[in-house]
Amino acid sequence: MEKILEELSRIVGPQYVSNHPEELFIYARDPGTMEARRPDWVVLPDSTEEVRQVVLLANREKIPIVPLGGGLVLSGLTRALKGGIVMDLKRLNRILEVDEANRYALVEAGTSQGMLQAHLQKHHPRLKHSIPDAPPIATLAGNILIHGSGHLSHAAGFHSDMLNGLEVVLPTGEVARIGSCSASPYWFGRAPLPDLAGLFLGWFGTTGIVTKLAVKLFPNRSLNDVEMFVVEDPDLVPDIIRRLADLQVAEDLTAWMAPKPDWARGFQHVNINYGADSPAELVWKQKAIRASLQKYRDQKIGGFMPLPPPMKKGLLETPQTSLTRFADVRKGGGFEYVGGIMPVSCFPQAYRQGIVVPPGPASSARATA
């Protein structure tokens, strides 16, 4: 054990490796409710080469490695189930390039969503990236590798669909580049070679450790607004979403339901975010959105909810800070995230299966989909 500690210290420096019980305790868990699993060492590399050297050591000594980004997962993915090394990638947090002409950003794997957002706002205010509704410390790599979603997902898909390329350290210590970066100095797309990115997406670091990645950037509109369409019948939601999607006007479509506040219980809500570069364009888009759902308004089975300015301001936030205050609506327990990837047509079924009504007079319905 001491020999491994010495070798890790040689690779990353003694101040960036630890086997102290109090630090292993912190890395043994995540903010969710899963049982803690303590690693044997924690290491914080500062370069692709240092990651490669740690992987070569682990490969030779048959030591498991668990890569860690922001450490915000709620389902235990970053726990060291078999001990070994937790590799914290937070020092790999440099923004290497923002290409305005080709609309992409190249970052290291530990770069947080908040860091890139702040960098773009300061240096490239005409561009933005798709942001999950997570604290700003969440990393781009972590969110992309779990097929995360968030703002701009309606237009561009899951965040893994916004990936242009990867640099990955394989379990053998070899370094692979996936996408246009493998054949040119540009990280503009996953062509022209066979797209191997899927070998590393959704595998949570088990097939390789990502050290660099490029993500698509999008226009940052000067004006932004949001509408909220409300119906009672969940069977109507798929058609509502299809009508709005067919317009190709909205940047985001979010279907949601919740037991609190009281005005939301029993209703299906669809948030429609859109932006423009002039007041006339913004008004035109609002009219198009409202016209697409006129059928439901005429039948008096759905309508647009008036949004007071404070509520609208919160809905336009990226990320929405209100979600962190709302996470545990019934209080008194931990929080665990369960996500689903499904066709829009399955929304009503998922909604009905997700409703939980505990026994007792004080119970309230809690819906998730």
| Count of beta carbons in the 10 Å neighbourhood of residue 299 | 8
Domains of the chain: 2-88 (3.30.43.10), 95-219 (3.30.465.10), 223-354 (3.30.70.3450)
Cβ atoms 322, 336 nearer than 8 A: no
How high is the pLDDT of residue 229?
A: 98
Burial 351-362 (b: 16+ CB within 10 A, else e): beeeeeeeeeee
Element (H, E) at 55: helix 48-61
How high is the pLDDT of residue 367?
A: 32
Going from the C-alpha of 139 to that of each of 42, 135, 167, 213, 324, the distances in angstroms are 18, 10, 16, 11, 17
Residue 273's beta-bridge partner residues? Answer: 226, 252
- Residue identified by tokens 């030591």 is 63
What long-range pairs does 20-28 form, CB within 8 A, spacing at least 24?
Answer: 27/68, 27/80, 27/86, 27/88, 28/79, 28/80
Give yes or no for a cis peptide into 261 (omega within 30° of 0): yes
Q: Where are the beta strands (DSSP E) in 26-121?
A: 41-43, 65-68, 85-88, 95-99, 104-108
Dihedrals phi, psi of 255, to nearest 5 degrees: -95, 130
CA–CA distance, 307 with 292 (Å, rounded to integer):
19
CA–CA distance, 245 with 247 (Å, rounded to integer):
5
How high is the pLDDT of residue 159?
A: 94
Give yes or no for a cis peptide into 192 (omega within 30° of 0): yes
Q: The whole model's pTM is what?
A: 0.89
The two tokens of residue 98 are 């923002």
Q: Angle between the 347-354 and 237-247 helix axes, to the nearest 10 degrees?
A: 130
CA–CA distance, 105 with 99 (Å, rounded to integer):
6
How high is the pLDDT of residue 51?
A: 98
How high is the pLDDT of residue 369?
A: 30
> Mean pLDDT of residues grouped by 10 in the chain (369 residues)?
95 97 93 89 98 98 95 86 96 98 97 97 97 92 92 87 97 97 96 94 93 97 97 97 95 88 91 97 98 97 96 91 64 60 90 66 34
How high is the pLDDT of residue 320?
A: 84
How high is the pLDDT of residue 327?
A: 57
How high is the pLDDT of residue 334?
A: 56
Cβ-based neighbours of 290, under 8 Å, separated by 6 or more:
227, 297, 304
